[in-house]
Structure 1
């Protein structure tokens, strides 16, 4: 049967439409990507705003329509850090259900980490997945679906931007405070688990990969399995620091609702590579929504 797997993040809303065959394999049909910035102002107000909710509802309505057109039999939808952090999560979930018919399951950081891992890896060799989201960052290590280590950290591209960066480019003091926060959180990770194949998923690494390759439009085949070196991460960071948000959009072709938070995501990736002595990481376009498809489709059988 056909299913849709939706990942409502703090910044983006992603949907994978896939066929699940008799062996339980996930065969992708189409991917959808929209930016709602659901977590806008959340760090300051503790709530998901009406404006952000309406942006999300508009996107989810279109995803519901696409799912119907593609004859999807079941929609699985998960909410992550923004829902975990917001005081009005229950109200937001009810409004989404009432207006779109989509039921949002709020998953904790541990399950989010597991789903990101199984959605990214394709073999049983020891691997690490770094998932830099808008509101949190997950780090997972394991073999196949045997998880050896998982950690969800309360740092993300949107959260750090709203907390520290009042203007762009940020002042040196603001940048230093953000770095300290990142280092404090990453220090909670046991470095002995950071080995083998190292993957990075979500909008930060895919956007940096597109920028360093000079892509004017997102090309999945050029992003998936792209080897992003530490030197290229630093090069991208310096570019983001040199340019205004409008220039990041115009000159580097970064989507408007990602351009103002890409620096924060980049410095998380920079410090991850630096602290764990990683010369490069493998970029994946997959991640959480693929894990949602795998995990929840099994429960249908």
Structure 2
């Protein structure tokens, strides 16, 4: 028996999942935690992690550690994504985390992040064809899936925090601000040559911003008892558009009172949903499907697969997949 703790340090949130893996390969989740750390806050064009964000992150990691340090036979896998990946003071940050928490953070490239997203989705939902989209605080991953296999993937250096900070859309966004955001996204998508192959396919939404769409809709369901159970939940493209319209037509204070939209995300939700909205229009997708199992569970599924195969790696070669220069 093994306890496997996965820490996913993103640009906006830090997440923990602890899983008990039995000797026969079965497993059960025993701990799930999330803390909003805003690690990418105010990084600016110089791409420097700021001390307030670093302090929030270290406090969250210390809190996470309390959930697994006393468990028997614990293995820890801690990965850091976009904010840490692009930070010019990455080395100092990793050293400070190690000194303060004892946790070794592994900075993974965007293509690896996208691959883990794929593993999390494909092992937990009956997805055959679609575009997996994980919108985080400072990056967005896109994965084209056909016949359950990865065809192409890419990590883009845009996310809910970076789009919101660069285009100042904290309060009710103006038409000019929205035009600027969607024009930027259009240019980015134009440069992904394979994206047209996702035309008319569903979008599988990962990340807190995308999942907020499902949570808002579920809060309006007659049975609200399990409103946050959105794994596998579907929304039509029109339902997504209606929710987005309500969000952009609200002030910051009004957004904080929308059921299903957390107050801590209200200031970045417009920027966080813009990539998905732009993709829906471009691909003429008729629906979004939502997944609660992304990177953390992808790491878990890879580990379990390796255990079942006596330690043989099951990872695919990502060298031929696209990644923007900023991921290097």
TM-score by length of 1: 0.91
Alignment of 1:145-294 (within 5 A): 146-165=149-168, 167-189=170-192, 190=194, 191-193=196-198, 198-214=203-219, 219=226, 222-294=229-301
Instruction: Determine if the alignment matches structure 1 residue 19 to structure 2 residue 24.
Output: no
Counterparts of 1:74 and 1:26, CA distance in 2: 14
Residues 180-228 of structure 1: CA deviation (Å, up to 9, x unaligned): 1111112233221456554111101211111122279995763111102
Counterparts of 1:139 and 1:166, CA distance in 2: 24
The runs of 5 or more residues in structure 1 that have no matched partner are none
- Maintained 8 Å contact 2:137/2:162: yes
The offset of 1:12, in angstroms, is: 0.7
In 2 relative to 1, CA 88–114 (structure 1 residues): closer, same or farther, beyond 3 Å?
A: same
Provide the secondary structure at the position in 2 that maps to 1:67.
coil
The offset of 1:163, in angstroms, is: 0.8
- Maintained 8 Å contact 2:117/2:298: yes
- Maintained 8 Å contact 2:12/2:36: yes
TM-score by length of 2: 0.84
Instruction: Determine if the alignment matches structure 1 residue 111 to structure 2 residue 112.
Output: yes
The offset of 1:231, in angstroms, is: 1.6
Counterpart in the other structure of 2:101 = 100
Greater displacement, 92-101 / 40-49: 40-49
Counterparts of 1:27 and 1:145, CA distance in 2: 24
Residues 109-161 of structure 1: CA deviation (Å, up to 9, x unaligned): 11111011101122573443111111111111236874211011121111100
- Maintained 8 Å contact 2:61/2:101: yes
Counterpart in the other structure of 1:130 = 133
- Maintained 8 Å contact 1:10/1:37: yes
Counterparts of 1:221 and 1:250, CA distance in 2: 17
Greater displacement, 238-247 / 275-284: 238-247
- Maintained 8 Å contact 1:39/1:158: yes
The alignment covers a number of residue pairs equal to 301
The offset of 1:94, in angstroms, is: 0.8
In 2 relative to 1, CA 77–168 (structure 1 residues): closer, same or farther, beyond 3 Å?
A: same
The offset of 1:36, in angstroms, is: 0.4
Provide the secondary structure at the position in 2 that maps to 1:41.
coil
- Maintained 8 Å contact 1:210/1:218: no
Counterpart in the other structure of 1:84 = 85
Query: Superposition RMSD on alpha carbons, in Å?
Result: 2.5
Provide the secondary structure at the position in 2 that maps to 1:251.
coil
In 2 relative to 1, CA 144–170 (structure 1 residues): closer, same or farther, beyond 3 Å?
A: same
- Maintained 8 Å contact 2:212/2:260: no
Greater displacement, 204-213 / 131-140: 204-213
